[in-house]
Structure 1
Amino acid sequence: MSLNLGGMQVVSLLSGTLDYSQIVQQLYQVARQPGDALNQTIRTLQQKKNDWSNIASLASKLQDALVALADSSTFTSFATTVGGEDTSAITASASTGAAPGTYNITVNLGSPATFTSSAGIGAAPTLSTQLSSPVFSQPVIAGYVTVTIGTTSKTISVSTTDTIQDVINNINSAFGSTVISGAAINGNQLTFTNNSGQAIIFGSAGDTSNFFQVIGLNGVQVSAGSNGASGLLGHVQLTTYLQSANFAISVTERNGDIKINGVDITYNAQTDTLQAVINRINSSAAGVTASYNPLTDTITLTSKTSQPITVSDVTGNLAAALNISGTSQAGTPWSYTINGVSGTSAGPTVNNVIPGVTFTIQSAGSCTLTVSQDTSTLTKKVQDFVNAFNSLYNQLQTYTQKGGDLQGDAAMAQLAFKYMNDVLSNGLPGVAPQYANLTVQAIGINNGAVGSAPGTTNSLQVDTNKLVQAFQNDPNEVQFLLTGMATKLNNDLVNLTGQFNSLTPITSSNMNLVGIAQAEQNMYSKMINDTLQQQQTIYDQAQAEAQQLMFQFQQLQQFQAQAAMELAALRGLFATTG
């Protein structure tokens, strides 16, 4: 806030002048000082509010770690180890309820069922089809191609406006005779006779047009008098809408439905491409993978099992157009022997033949599979809990120690001790009678050397070896102790954070709970607002007093000016009459 000290700012004295603007400014600053002093109070209050917010965040993370620790999966996880002669023969995993033990396994690969188009699915061109037509496996590039007869090579110009017959005619013209005769399209191939009397070789490394590559003649040699044939000419177009994709059997139904293994695959012939349909099949629950072979212009469905594949048109005729309708042959089942007991599987993945275990056959061979309790999940979750606890515990101590931001804060002073006691004391909720006198220290969680009193050390520690040994000796003991500890500590943390979870669910009696941390933040927010209002009142009063002083000095200026005018008039009067 600033003062407007413009205009006359001096008062004449007998001994000189007085700069009243400077006096008012100094008095104003003095009057503001009590308000300025409150800035430190505001900063201190804001820091304490921030500290409580940080405590709430750390406590919330600790609650999350407790929920994860108490989850049943922490204590029911199993690990699998593949050993023996062929360790790559299988991969395996185990779930809750797995049967621990070592199993001798021999496996053999099976084969999936496949279903392939009975013939090419693209429409054949004619000799009069232009090379620019979208019927070939790839676009034809204009340029030139080379034809060699005996020792004579000729370059033949190829334009995209040419037809297949035009290219043949151009070859014959280049050699001055009918070296290629009887050209025709048979079975989607260009057939012809070498009438040159010498061997003909189509194409060379220097060709600038890909015409011979596109029709499958590049590098082909046809002996004198022999018949030659190209590769497949007409191909279905993967990225063109179905109704105009050059199918030999036109797909004309706008909205169609093809059923694969009982799963409906719908399509729109006007807006879907064959590639889109392939993608839809592959992401469906049909249990097959669809692929297109550009060399044979066919579709192949490969099952994920050895079971036969069934395909039919429900509406439309896409299955007919793909030349893939009916039921395929079955594949070969995957086989295995476990501890001398043989079995087969329709797919490479075998479920629950060993209780709770899934293994996938990767290659033929023999191996051993060991199923054991997974202690890595337990030790990780315990360590995650300890890390989260120590972060909160140490921060609580830092804030409340001598010189800390919240030294003397009654609401926070006892929390660190209380939470450490929750972890290390007995009397845990839900603990079976046989474990009632135990604490988590019995399974390797402690706060220092033997004899350390709860709350007197700076952190929790984990004796991993002791924890693992305890779990292997009696997993129920470990589960009861950790779950009971987690529940007890979480109940107290809920009072701090107001955050409910599976360990402390929300109920009608606690649904309106405001956590201690939030209540403290609310309190400090109110104190900050009250202090800001107090500060503003001081500033407003200082401003008002300064304005009053300015008014009084201005009145004095006006009086002096009036007196000076009267004095000047008197002087003039006396000078005239003198």
Structure 2
Amino acid sequence: MSSTVLNLGGMQSVSTMTGTIDYSQIIEQLTQANRAPGDALNATIQNEQLKQNDWSNVAKLATAVQNDLVTLASANTFNSFTTTIGGTDTSAISAAAAGGATAGTYAINVTQQGSKATLTSGAEIGKAAALTDPMNANEFAQPISLGTISATIGGTTVSHTVTGSDSIDSILTALFGANGSQVSWSMNNNQLSISSNTAQNITFGTAGDSSNLFQVLGLTGQVLAGTGTSAKSSLVGHAQLNSYLTSANFSSSLTSTTSGDLRINGVDITYDTGTDTLQSVINQINASTAGVTAGYDPLQDKMILTSNTSQPVSVSDVSGNLGQVLGLTSGVAGAGQPWIYQINNGPAQTSASATVSNAIPGVSFTMNQTGSATLTVAQDTSALTKAVNTFVGDFNTLYGQLNTYTGKGGDLQGDVAIAQLGFQYMNDVLNTVPDMTQFAQQSVWGIGINNGAIGSAPGTTNSLQVDSGALTAAFANDPSEVQSLLTGMATRLNTDLTNLTGQFNTLTPNSLYSQNISGIAQNMENMYADNIKNTEQQQQQIYDQAAAEAQQMQTQFNQLQQFQQQMAAQQNALAAMLGSLKGY
């Protein structure tokens, strides 16, 4: 009986005297069996990963609580004050309180409204214009746009196209004829005067004009209503705000030096006549500590310095002569008057400024007008209640998560490193704070922070709660001890949380800084990371061993197949030889 070989894919099966064995399936089954211990480690890896994530989350939640504790223990949380204005004239004052203010009620009577001192240029600072000056001269209140300009004489509109070389003289001549024909004009004290020599109405400018000359001169829309009527322009020649000082069209000449020093109220304003403009000098004055506001009045062509208080303004040229050119060293001073007020019917007091910051400790009030008002300064509990409620909310999240992780069925059930943390942290919050005497139990229980009243129903005392009414009442009664209670509790809890997180802050004791601790949570994360790494290495070894054994079985199968092929060849040769002997 001959045997045959069934070759599936080159190395799929081996024939036997009674049938065929699927050797590839046997190898696969054996390989799966060899890999099974490694596959079983996936559950271990997954479980270790969950524990590592849990510790990471606990550290994150604990860090949030630590941040809350820093805010809770901050002096700003306890030193916030509010101000309320009452009385007869509530608009007479406004006020604000800073940390460390003195609570109380103050009667403030403003008896004199103060005024600011001013200093104005003694004369126009710009060079006066002439009738023959061209339109492109750098002297007008704003650049003259070229184009059509018109006037209406009776019912007839006459127009002229303004060019850069035109002058006021040439434009008026083009519109009205020679000086004295229909109108007469002259330039006096930097203003253009025009009078009518005709009985017809004359109107300056039309809606279609593209040149702005009449608008710049303040003549647009003005009407000469018959012979002898007249109109006068605004100032024609002006100082130029945005040209360099050397070409700003000043009426007086600057000294040849490029660098100068203008002193205002003892503050030096330095400038360069070749690179600074009048506007940049104004900006520098306003940004300085001179205590004035500088500005340019285009209607008067003058500089105005307004003091921030009633104190007079002093100006001098240390070097250069810009102060003189601006008319400030010989300017006209507008005297200011101080504010006068009384507090609690005390003696009259004066202030050069409307704002008084040294009369009531920690309080600044601003006088707006004369009148009587009542200023009440009170402790602000909003910052405290916000800080306490934020802390309690984050603490409860941490506490609840610890209970979930360590409770029945939790990922960290039985983990001794975490088992007692929730209990420890709750005790840190609720235990007695040393040296406290004012409130019941000498702990935060006495100021409205607890985990449920004694005798509460089961399940209702697992988290902190805040009685805001009790908290604010305690704060009003003794703010100093409330601050000491909360700061002491915060410091104690923060120390234990630092051991957990390794996160240092302003509440961390100096002894812990020197230890350079990494924190329990990080150590546990590292431990689980190492466990995962070791398990994955162990798993890989199992998989590598299974692969090696599969390769060895495959090699043995190949050898068996080759041997079977040799046997089949020999069998065929023997059969052929026996067949050739049958003829004998």
Shorter chain as denominator, the TM-score bin is 0.7 to 0.9
Match of 2:307 in 1: 303
What's the CA shift string for 1:165-187, capped at 9, x where partnerless?
A: 442232135x9994344544x44
Match of 1:445 in 2: 449
Please tell me whether the aligned partners of residues 424 and 454 of structure 1 are also in contact (alpha carbons under 8 angstroms).
no
Q: Which amino acid aligns with 1:203?
A: G
Please tell me whether the aligned partners of residues 310 and 326 of structure 1 are also in contact (alpha carbons under 8 angstroms).
no
Q: Within 2, Cα distance between the matches of 1:37 and 1:265?
A: 82
Please tell me whether the aligned partners of residues 417 and 455 of structure 1 are also in contact (alpha carbons under 8 angstroms).
no
Compute the displacement of 1:87 (Å): 1.6
- Counting matched residue pairs gives 569
Match of 2:84 in 1: 81
Q: Within 1, Cα distance between the matches of 2:250 and 2:374?
A: 52
State yes or no: 1:212 paired with 2:206.
no
> Cα 1:541–1:227, aligned 2, differ >3 Å: closer, same or farther?
same
State yes or no: 1:458 paired with 2:462.
yes
Q: Within 2, Cα distance between the matches of 1:259 and 1:406?
A: 75
State yes or no: 1:394 paired with 2:400.
yes
TM-score by length of 1: 0.85
Please tell me whether the aligned partners of residues 104 and 367 of structure 1 are also in contact (alpha carbons under 8 angstroms).
yes
Query: Please, which of 104, 120, 123 is the counterpart of residue 107 of structure 2?
Result: 104
Please tell me whether the aligned partners of residues 150 and 175 of structure 2 are also in contact (alpha carbons under 8 angstroms).
no
Match of 1:373 in 2: 379
Q: Within 2, Cα distance between the matches of 1:187 and 1:119?
A: 11
What's the CA shift string for 1:7-34, capped at 9, x where partnerless?
A: 8454563688877666655655554444
State yes or no: 1:529 paired with 2:530.
no
Please tell me whether the aligned partners of residues 74 and 378 of structure 1 are also in contact (alpha carbons under 8 angstroms).
yes
What SS does structure 1 have at the residue aligned with 2:524? helix
Q: Within 1, Cα distance between the matches of 2:99 and 2:403?
A: 41
Of 349-358 and 323-332, the range deviating more from structure 2: 323-332
Compute the displacement of 1:202 (Å): 1.0
What's the CA shift string for 1:375-411, capped at 9, x where partnerless?
A: 3333232223222322222222222222223222212
Please tell me whether the aligned partners of residues 243 and 277 of structure 2 are also in contact (alpha carbons under 8 angstroms).
yes
Match of 1:68 in 2: 71
Q: Within 1, Cα distance between the matches of 2:506 and 2:458?
A: 27
TM-score by length of 2: 0.84
Please tell me whether the aligned partners of residues 435 and 481 of structure 1 are also in contact (alpha carbons under 8 angstroms).
no
Compute the displacement of 1:574 (Å): 9.5
State yes or no: 1:361 paired with 2:367.
yes
Q: Which amino acid aligns with 2:540?
A: Q
Q: Within 1, Cα distance between the matches of 2:179 and 2:74?
A: 88
Gaps of 5+ in 1: 1-5
> Cα 1:12–1:162, aligned 2, differ >3 Å: closer, same or farther?
farther
Q: Which amino acid aligns with 2:220?
A: N
Q: Within 2, Cα distance between the matches of 1:146 and 1:247?
A: 31
Q: Within 2, Cα distance between the matches of 1:288 and 1:212?
A: 35
Query: Please, which of 188, 191, 197 is the counterpart of residue 189 of structure 1?
Result: 191
What's the CA shift string for 1:480-527, capped at 9, x where partnerless?
A: 322222222222222122233333343487442222122222222222
Compute the displacement of 1:351 (Å): 1.7
Q: Within 1, Cα distance between the matches of 2:363 and 2:34?
A: 81
Compute the displacement of 1:348 (Å): 0.9
State yes or no: 1:382 paired with 2:385.
no
Q: Within 1, Cα distance between the matches of 2:191 and 2:564?
A: 120
State the Cα RMSD in Å.
3.8
Q: Within 2, Cα distance between the matches of 1:117 and 1:26?
A: 106
> Cα 1:349–1:397, aligned 2, differ >3 Å: closer, same or farther?
same
Gaps of 5+ in 2: 1-7
> Cα 1:396–1:249, aligned 2, differ >3 Å: closer, same or farther?
farther
Of 118-127 and 440-449, the range deviating more from structure 2: 118-127
Please tell me whether the aligned partners of residues 420 and 455 of structure 1 are also in contact (alpha carbons under 8 angstroms).
no
Please tell me whether the aligned partners of residues 10 and 17 of structure 1 are also in contact (alpha carbons under 8 angstroms).
no
Compute the displacement of 1:345 (Å): 0.9
What SS does structure 1 have at the residue aligned with 2:340? strand
Match of 1:331 in 2: 336
Larger Rg belongs to: 2
What's the CA shift string for 1:177-229, capped at 9, x where partnerless?
A: 94344544x44433445444544321234434322112221122346345543
Q: How does 1:497-576 map to 2 (within 5 A)?
A: 497-507=501-511, 510-555=514-559
State yes or no: 1:145 paired with 2:152.
no
Please tell me whether the aligned partners of residues 500 and 506 of structure 1 are also in contact (alpha carbons under 8 angstroms).
no
Of 238-247 and 508-517, the range deviating more from structure 2: 238-247
What's the CA shift string for 1:293-315, capped at 9, x where partnerless?
A: 33334333322211112233444
